[in-house]
Amino acid sequence: MADSISKLTKSVHTGSPGDPQYKGVVNPIYPSAAYDYENMPETQYPRYFNTPNQRAVSQKIAALENGEDGLIFSSGLAAIMTSLFAFLKQGDHAILQHDLYGGTFNAVTVEFPRYGIEYTLVDGTKPEEFEKAIRPNTKVIYVETPSNPTLTITDLKAVANIAKRHQLITIIDNTFASPVNQNPIDLGIDVVTHSGTKYIGGHSDLCCGAAVSTAENIRKIWNSAFHFGGSLDAQTCWLVERSLKTIVLRVRQQNENALAIAQWLQQQSSVGKVYYPGLPEHPGHAIAREQMPGGFGGMLSFEVKSDPHGFMGRLKLIKRALSLGGVESTICSPVKTSHSKMSPEERIKINVTDNLVRFSVGIEDAQDLINDIRQALGG
Ligand SMILES: *Cc1c(COP(=O)(O)O)cnc(C)c1O
């Protein structure tokens, strides 16, 4: 894969050569779970992650992340936990950023102790904290940037350099940025994971995950993946491949909309703090500009000074929903959803107040979205 090929072209063509038999322009769906093994370089089987539709979509995601190879999983958590367990064993230690996606936080804090894996949670905005937490048995550093829901920024180059000095594997959850805006492998991060349920699927209609890295690391992850079994079926792989053909166009529109809406929200007296890495006031703005060359993403959060639930109830276009990254704008209260299990004291520490709402900006017209927010704030 020549790196001179642009992301727009890769999103359409890589892994999508079309139909070899009838010469149609679109890849066929190969639902077979059983394949002839004679004279084949490797045995094909869905749980081996190597059937035609699995390989097609893995190649496309790997190309968009500038990685050598990738794996497509049945969920984001399958990709994340399989990648973590591939590089960790009993007695090892991992360092993770403290403001993790809630599902990842719960999975790590519940499962790691059961398998005798130690961990330390650190402030992702302070790279030196990762270095301070390193122990003789540390194997993995895990980060997530921009983070959920206040969009904090972790300096990926700084973390990658620390990890390289200490020969640690770095894993990132790149879901919020999407492969369009941020390619951590270019910055020295080893393994990129995604909840493909969000921007990669992009239409709020499927669940999948992905991991991208060097061929060697992907082989290591595969060694665990085919045991844990979080593989994805052919039909959904094909849908993901189709979704990825428009990811650059979708995310560019979401970037543009989110910036315009964040700037407008800042001017409103009925709105408190606005969290968006594209705003110069955001503490991570300078680093985000460096490491997110494609844009600042479609996620933003803000405080509604009046009752946030009344506000969300009055929205007409913007739907109240969990999840994110779809073409349709959705909004939610982190206190009632992703951060409901956290104590109020813990929530305040990471700026998750009762008045905070998290907004996943869709591809609609930005002015229509602003008009909807204006009428809901005014009510
Ligand atoms: C949704 C999400 C996940 C989990 O992905 P699933 O597809 O639900 O398993 C992980 N990280 C982030 C940032 C997410 O938004």
Does the fold of domain 247-377 match that of domain 7-244?
no
Q: Provide the pLDDT confidence category of residue 337 given band limits of 50, 70 and 90.
A: confident
* pTM to 2 decimal places: 0.97
- Residue of 370, 361, 372 whose CA lies nearest to 301: 361
Range 198-210 average pLDDT? 98
pLDDT digits (tens, 9 = 90+) for 144-187: 999 999 999 999 999 999 999 999 999 999 999 999 999 999 99
Return the CA Rg of the chain: 21
Catalytic residue among 198, 250, 276, 358: 198
Q: Provide the pLDDT confidence category of residue 1 given band limits of 50, 70 and 90.
A: very low
For tokens 């560019």, name the residue. 252
Q: What is the CATH number of domain 7-244?
A: 3.40.640.10
Does residue 102's CB lie within 6 angstroms of at least one atom of ligand 1? no
Catalytic residue among 30, 35, 47, 273: 47
Average pLDDT of the chain to the nearest whole number: 96
Provide the pLDDT for residue 226: 97
- Find the 295 Cα to ligand 1 centroid distance in Å: 20
The answer for residues whose C-beta is within 8 angstroms of residue 202's C-beta and 6 or more apart is 243, 246, 247, 250, 325, 326, 327
Counting residues of the chain whose pLDDT is more than 70, the rounded percentage is 99
pLDDT digits (tens, 9 = 90+) for 86-140: 999 999 999 999 989 989 999 999 999 999 999 999 999 999 999 999 999 999 9
Annotated active-site residue 252? The verdict is no
Using the predicted structure, report yes or no on whether residue 263 has a pLDDT greater than 50: yes
Fold topology of 247-377: Aspartate Aminotransferase, domain 1 (3.90.1150)
Does residue 82's CB lie within 6 angstroms of at least one atom of ligand 1? no
Provide the pLDDT for residue 208: 98
Provide the pLDDT for residue 341: 79
Q: What are the phi and psi torsion angles at 66 (to 5°)?
A: 55, 35
Q: Which two tokens stand for residue 111?
A: 């499962």
Longest dimension (CA), the chain: 70
Annotated active-site residue 198? The verdict is yes
Range 194-203 average pLDDT? 98
Using the predicted structure, report yes or no on whether residue 343 has a pLDDT greater than 90: no
Does residue 147's CB lie within 6 angstroms of at least one atom of ligand 1? no
Distance CA 379, CA 368 (A): 17
Does residue 326's CB lie within 6 angstroms of at least one atom of ligand 1? no
Distance CA 2, CA 113 (A): 43
Q: Where are the domains of the chain?
A: 7-244, 247-377
Q: Provide the pLDDT confidence category of residue 3 given band limits of 50, 70 and 90.
A: low
Annotated active-site residue 55? The verdict is no
- Residue of 97, 64, 373 whose CA lies nearest to 196: 64
Contact 108, 119 (CB under 8 A): yes
